Amino acid sequence: MGNSSAHRWEHYYTPETVAEAVDLLQRYDGQARVVGGGTDLLVEIRRGLHRPVDALVDASRIAGLNTIEEDGDNIVIGCGVTHSQIIRDSRIIKYGTCLSESCGVIGGPQVRNVGTLAGNVAHALPAGDGTIGLLALGGEIEIASVDGTRWIPMQESFKGPGKSFINRHREVLTRLRFRRTGTREGSAHHRVMRPQGLCLPIISMAVRVQLHDNNTIKKARISMGPVGPVPFLAESAMEVLVGAKVSAGQFNKAAEAALASVTLRSSKYRASTEYREQMVRTYLPAILARAVEQAMGVSP
Ligand SMILES: Cc1cc2nc3c(=O)[nH]c(=O)nc-3n(C[C@H](O)[C@H](O)[C@H](O)COP(=O)(O)OP(=O)(O)OC[C@H]3O[C@@H](n4cnc5c(N)ncnc54)[C@H](O)[C@@H]3O)c2cc1C
C-alpha cells in the first residue's frame, strides 16, 4: 500500500508482534513512523505537515493488542483498540465512565471506528478527548522499544502541543491502563465545542472522585484542556476538594481554583477567555456532581 508521490511513504507494514514492530522501526533508523488508525497521521502526511517517511509501521494489528482486558484492579487497553470498542465496553462504561464519555464525543462514527486511544494519547494534543478522560483516571501507558518495555504515568509523555516524549519513529505505545473505579468512586467528562462539530474543543474536562463514608472527599483528580501546551491536571482544584464535605459550594470553589491556575486563551474562531471561564464555572461543578452521584451509587 502507498506510493511516494500521492501518500509520501514507500512501505506500509502490518507487524503481528511487538518485537517485529520495534525491529522494523530500528531497521529504518528514524525514517519510519508508527501509525494507529491513521485518522490524524495520514491526514497530516497528505497535507504535507510531516516530513515524508520511508515506511509506516501499523501498530493497530499487532496480535493480542486489539482487546480490552482486566488485570486485577486495572483495565488494560491494547493500542489497536478503537474509540468505538471503548464506548461499547460495559466495564469501561461502569468503571471508567469519563473515558467512555470522552471517547464517545470524538469525531463521528467513522473516525471512532478506526481511531485508537493510543493514537489520541501519542498525538499529544492539549485537549485530545480520550487523553483528557484517561488522564483524570490516572492512566498509565506502556512503551516498547528495542530496549524492552516500560510503564509510565501518561502525563510524563507530553512534551508540547503535538509533541510527545514517545519517540514515534522508534517506540510503540503498546498498552494503556487505569485502576478501575471502585467502592464510593465515580468519574465524568464534559466537552464544550462549537456546534459545527469538527473543530477543536473550547474546553474539555474530566474528573475522578472518591468519597469517605461520611461524604467527605478522599481523592480527586481533575484534567482539563486546552489550557496550555499539554493536557493539564488541575492540582490546586484537586487540593480544594480533598478533605472537604461534598457540596455545590465546594465544587464552585474548585472551579475558581482551577481557573486561578490556568491562562485561558481568547481565540477568534473558538471562544473568548471570558466564555471559556464561564464554561469551566458551569461544567466543572456539574461533572463533579455527576461523579459524586456515581460514587454515592445514585447513578450507575
Ligand atoms: C474528522 C475528524 C474528527 C476528529 N475529531 C476528534 C475529536 O473530536 N476529538 C479528538 O480528540 N480527536 C479527534 N480527531 C483526531 C483523531 O481521530 C484522534 O486523535 C484519534 O484518536 C487518533 O488515533 P489514530 O489511531 O487514528 O492515530 P494516528 O493518526 O494513527 O496517529 C496519531 C499520532 O500518534 C502516533 N501513534 C499512533 N499510534 C501509536 C502507537 N501505538 N505508538 C506510538 N505512536 C503512535 C502517530 O505516529 C501519530 O503521531 C478527529 C479526526 C478527524 C479526521
Taking only the tens place, the pLDDT of each residue in 210-243 is: 999 999 999 999 999 999 999 999 999 999 999 9
Atom of ligand 1 nearest to the CA of 43: 53
**What total number of domains does the chain contain?**
3
Q: What domain range includes position 25?
A: 4-58
Q: Residues 23, 81: one domain?
A: no
* Residue 39 CB less than 6 A away from ligand 1: yes
218 in any annotated domain:
yes
Are 203 and 192 a contacting pair, CB within 8 Å?
yes
Q: Residues 247, 265: one domain?
A: yes
Q: Residues 95, 21: one domain?
A: no
Q: Atom 9 of ligand 1 has which residue's CA nearest to it? A: 106
**Nearest Cα residue to 130 out of 101, 90, 91, 92:** 101
- Position 79, amino acid: C
Give 186: exposed, middle or buried? Use CB within 10 Å, 0-12, 13-18, 19+: buried
Cell of 123: 498525538
pLDDT grade for 5, boundaries at 50, 70 and 90:
very low
* Residue 6 CB less than 6 A away from ligand 1: no
219 in any annotated domain:
yes
| 4 pLDDT more than 50 | no
pLDDT tens-digit series, residues 97-110: 999 999 999 999 99
The CATH number that applies at residue 14 is 3.30.43.10
* pLDDT at site 9: 85
* pLDDT at site 134: 98
**Nearest Cα residue to 65 out of 173, 193, 156:** 173
* Distance from Cα 125 to the centre of ligand 1, integer Å: 9
* Residue 53 CB less than 6 A away from ligand 1: no
Are 57 and 133 a contacting pair, CB within 8 Å?
no
Q: Residues 30, 81: one domain?
A: no
* pLDDT at site 1: 47
Collapsing DSSP to helix, strand or coil, 22 comes out as helix
Are 38 and 114 a contacting pair, CB within 8 Å?
yes
Size of the chain, expressed as the number of residues it contains: 300
The domain boundary residue, chosen from 58, 82, 104 = 58
* pLDDT at site 2: 45
In angstroms, the CA 164 to CA 81 distance is 20
Q: Residues 54, 73: one domain?
A: no
pLDDT tens-digit series, residues 156-214: 999 999 999 999 999 999 999 999 999 999 999 999 987 765 567 899 999 999 999 99
* Residue 122 CB less than 6 A away from ligand 1: yes
In angstroms, the CA 171 to CA 219 distance is 33
From 20, 61, 123, 196, the mutation candidate for ligand 1 (largest count of ligand atoms within 8 A of CB) is 123
What is the pTM (predicted TM-score) of this model?
0.95
Q: Residues 144, 215: one domain?
A: no
pLDDT tens-digit series, residues 244-259: 999 999 999 999 999 9
Q: Residues 27, 113: one domain?
A: no
Helices (H) and strands (E) in the chain, counts: 12, 14
pLDDT tens-digit series, residues 74-86: 999 999 999 999 9
* pLDDT at site 293: 97
Are 174 and 187 a contacting pair, CB within 8 Å?
no
- Comparison of pLDDT for 8 and 69, the residue scoring more: 69
